């Protein structure tokens, strides 16, 4: 594949996708872009750690620099050039930093665009506790869950028109004339699509993940008591996937109690559901009961941020966007432009995003080494400013924290 303004590295090999599985060489070419704001701080710091951990297991990452956000606009005149999208298509796995999204106006979210254009339909966000990090919970080690957030539909489809626009006026009139629905004339209008196809492929991926990783349950999180034909349908279609495609290995919560006295039989996964607002409080009150959560787009955004607060906040929250044979890995936090270039912020979320990427590549040993090295760094009270204000210790910058993690890789 040819590119307009970037050149792939001459060394390294492509990751391939064959028979539904990734084929990963020992020296994969992986595109990356730093993005906006603190991306220029945290991405290089994460790459430092990832390179060191890969070397420990006899692997090498051959990085391919691409561009998105403000840097891309300066180079290409667009915030998300085809060069970057084509690099991800060609090499299948990419690491990214945060991208700025304006509120209320300006260009559309680049994160959402990347997910939709590349059909990265599952936003997968693991939430787990690393020793030493501050937490509001008495027993934060009980938090160990993975959120599967549908990535292409719901209100994030971006189907909306501003108040007073011709489109909004036409839609308001159409709904009144055809369906007797009254909407105030000064309303902005948005449409919330949730399809059977997108729901089922997300839930299918969540169940398969639970099976592959020895998880005990998959919980469908929805607001189906109010939005019956979108989020209620999400719930129903999720149960259909379990019943029709995973019948031999799944049971419902009712079956668990009626047939097994609440004890999960060996080789079975429990499929259950919760109303979204109830799920928020159960994250706090019944944390250990939840394992894998699958939910529509907006619920997943809220829920994953709330869950991250239980284990130290967005500064330690990794994320990924997964499609069929393709993955783009990004931290949950935003671009925080006021801290950009100050070598100040915590790179842990970006580093753990790299861990998630390693797991996707099948390099789990390297990922576990990194997590333990981060714990050792914090246990030695080497911390960035966000942790320092809670626990004191030796205050260091972004690069210095990453270097401390690298040094502790030798101890794990």
Q: Residues forming the annotated binding site?
A: 100, 109, 111, 115, 125, 149, 301, 333-339, 346, 385, 389
Contact by Cβ (8 Å): 105, 28: no
Report the candidate in 296, 16, 20, 315 with the shortest Cα–Cα distance to residue 155: 296
**Tokens found for residue 234:** 């999400």
Query: SS3 string of 287-339?
Result: HHHCCEEEECHHHHHHHHHHHHHCCCCHHHCCCEEEECCEEEECCCCCCCHHH
Token look-up 């160990």 returns 144
Q: What is the rounded (10 degree) CA torsion for 250, 253, 259, 262?
A: 110
How distant, in Å, are the alpha carbons of 83, 202, 350, 387 from that of 315? Answer: 30, 26, 8, 9
Q: Identify the active-site residue in 36, 41, 291, 301.
A: 301
Contact by Cβ (8 Å): 249, 218: no
Q: Identify the active-site residue in 40, 192, 223, 371.
A: 223
Contact by Cβ (8 Å): 64, 371: no
Q: Identify the active-site residue in 156, 209, 290, 360.
A: 156
Bridge partner list, 148: 124, 294
Annotated binding site for D-threo-isocitrate: 109, 111, 115, 125, 149
Reply yes or no on whether 386 is catalytic: no
Reply yes or no on whether 156 is catalytic: yes
Q: What is the rounded (10 degree) CA torsion for 217, 222, 224, 225?
A: 90
DSSP 8-state assignment for residue 119: T
Count of other CB atoms within 10 angstroms of residue 247: 9
Annotated binding site for Mg(2+): 301
Count of other CB atoms within 10 angstroms of residue 238: 26
Q: Are strands 269-275 and 122-128 parallel, antiparallel or unpaired?
A: unpaired
Q: How far apart are CA 267 and CA 407, in angstroms?
A: 40
Reply yes or no on whether 239 is catalytic: no
Q: Are strands 144-150 and 189-190 parallel, antiparallel or unpaired?
A: unpaired
Annotated binding site for NADP(+): 100, 333-339, 346, 385, 389
Q: Identify the active-site residue in 173, 260, 277, 324.
A: 277
Q: Are strands 250-252 and 382-383 parallel, antiparallel or unpaired?
A: unpaired
Reply yes or no on whether 40 is catalytic: no
Catalytic residues: 156, 223, 277, 301
């Amino acid at each position: 594949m040819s590119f307009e303004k970037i050149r792939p590295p001459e060394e390294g090999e492509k990751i391939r996708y064959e028979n539904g599985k990734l084929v990963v060489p020992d020296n994969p070419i992986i595109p990356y872009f730093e993005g906006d704001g603190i991306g220029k701080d945290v991405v290089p710091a994460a790459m430092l750690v990832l390179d060191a951990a890969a070397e420990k297991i006899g692997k090498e990452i051959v990085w391919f620099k691409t561009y998105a956000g403000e840097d891309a606009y300066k180079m290409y005149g667009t915030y998300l050039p085809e060069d970057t999208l084509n690099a991800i298509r060609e090499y299948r796995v990419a690491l990214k930093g945060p991208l700025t999204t304006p509120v209320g106006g300006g260009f559309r979210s680049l994160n959402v665009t990347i997910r939709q254009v590349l059909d990265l339909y599952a936003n997968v966000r693991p939430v787990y506790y690393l020793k030493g990090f501050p937490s509001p919970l008495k027993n934060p080690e009980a938090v160990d869950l993975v959120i599967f957030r549908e990535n292409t539909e719901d209100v994030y489809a971006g189907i909306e028109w501003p108040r007073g626009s011709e489109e909004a006026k036409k839609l308001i009139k159409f709904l009144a004339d055809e369906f007797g629905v009254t909407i105030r004339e000064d309303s902005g209008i948005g449409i919330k699509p949730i399809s059977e196809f997108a729901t089922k492929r997300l839930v299918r991926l969540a169940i398969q993940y639970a099976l592959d990783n020895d998880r005990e349950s998959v919980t469908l999180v929805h607001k189906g008591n109010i939005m019956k034909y979108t989020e209620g349908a999400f719930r129903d279609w999720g149960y259909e996937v379990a019943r029709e495609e995973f019948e031999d290995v799944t049971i419902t919560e009712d079956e668990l109690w009626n047939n097994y006295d609440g004890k999960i039989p060996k080789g079975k996964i429990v499929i259950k559901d919760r109303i979204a607002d109830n799920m928020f409080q159960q994250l706090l009150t019944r944390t250990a009961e939840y394992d894998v959560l699958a939910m529509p787009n907006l619920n997943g955004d809220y829920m994953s941020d709330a869950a991250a607060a239980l284990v130290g906040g967005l500064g330690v929250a990794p994320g990924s966007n997964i499609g069929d044979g393709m993955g783009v890995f990004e931290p949950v936090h935003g671009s925080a432009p006021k801290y950009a270039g100050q070598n100040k912020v915590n790179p842990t979320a970006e580093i753990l995003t790299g861990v998630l990427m390693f797991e996707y590549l099948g390099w789990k040993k390297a990922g576990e080494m990194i997590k333990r090295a981060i714990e050792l760094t914090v246990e030695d009270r080497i911390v960035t400013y966000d942790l320092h204000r809670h626990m004191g210790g030796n205050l260091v910058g972004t690069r210095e924290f990453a270097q401390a993690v690298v040094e502790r890789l030798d101890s794990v």
